[in-house]
Structure 1
Amino acid sequence: MQVQVNTDNDTNGSAALVERVQEKVEGQLGRFAQHLTRVEVHINDVNAEKGGTDKRCMIEARPSNAKPMAVTHEADTVKQALLGALQKASRQLDSALGKRMDRKGAESIRAHDPG
């Protein structure tokens, strides 16, 4: 699973931030690694210095053999926005990929294309 981190011009996309984001993504979504080819994280400053909810995190997960899934979360800080988006992504992937797995964790027969 490749993790790509993108920021806008108003967000400091330092190497330390990128590393922390990658660690959080791998920690939260790592259990889906065998089903994901890439996870893109986009961090934006929504309204610059105007106040209010300031940061947005959009996570796009790309499962193999399925359509990409995207979630967005807005919060006051980058950390809160990232954690909220990761929780949403985890729930969405659980739902989508859980249908491909049976209760014991093996591939479901419905996940394979017989043709």
Structure 2
Amino acid sequence: MLVQINTDTRVDGTEATSDAIEDRLRERRSRFGDRLTRVEMRIRDVDGDRNGARGIEAKLEARPAGGQPIVVTDQGASTDAAITGALRKAVEILDRAFAKHDAVR
């Protein structure tokens, strides 16, 4: 599975940050095995210098093998909060999608 992390210029996009995000993505998606071919995370600062309660946006795109991409977005006061929310949403949607797919088999 390919993991790609993209950040805007206002979000810390160092290699250490990318590695930490990749570790979290791999940990959460390990339950799906080889069912995902690619996961892409885009993180951006949506409110500039205001640093409000929803200042960071994390958009996660997961591509199931042979299926349509699933895209979720979450916003939080910190990068960690936004990533956690996006991961939670993606796991819920993927669990449902794969459960339906397995039931049809």
TM-score of the alignment, normalized to the shorter chain, above 0.5:
yes
* Equivalence map 1:84-103=2 (5 Å): 84-102=85-103
Report SS of the residue matched to 2:102: coil
Residue 91 of structure 1 deviates from its aligned partner by: 0.1
AA paired with 2:92?
R
Residue 61 of structure 1 deviates from its aligned partner by: 0.2
* Structure 1 or 2: more helix by fraction: 2
Q: Which runs of 4+ in 1 moved over 2 A?
A: none
Residue 44 of structure 1 deviates from its aligned partner by: 0.4
Report SS of the residue matched to 2:10: coil
| Gap regions ≥5 residues in structure 1 | 103-107, 110-115
Residue 2 of structure 1 deviates from its aligned partner by: 1.2
Report SS of the residue matched to 1:42: strand
Residue 50 of structure 1 deviates from its aligned partner by: 1.8
Residue 46 of structure 1 deviates from its aligned partner by: 0.7
* Residue number in structure 2 paired with 1:67: 68
Worse overlay, 26-35 or 79-88: 26-35
Identity of paired residues, percent?
35
What CA deviation, in whole Å up to 9, does each residue of 1:49-102 have, x standing for no partner?
A: 023121000000000111000000000000010011000000000011111224
* Residue number in structure 1 paired with 2:23: 23
2:40–2:60 contact (8 Å) kept in structure 1: yes
Residue 31 of structure 1 deviates from its aligned partner by: 1.2
Normalising by structure 2, we get a TM-score of: 0.93
Worse overlay, 10-19 or 26-35: 26-35
Instruction: Provide the alpha-carbon RMSD of the alignment.
Output: 1.1
Normalising by structure 1, we get a TM-score of: 0.86
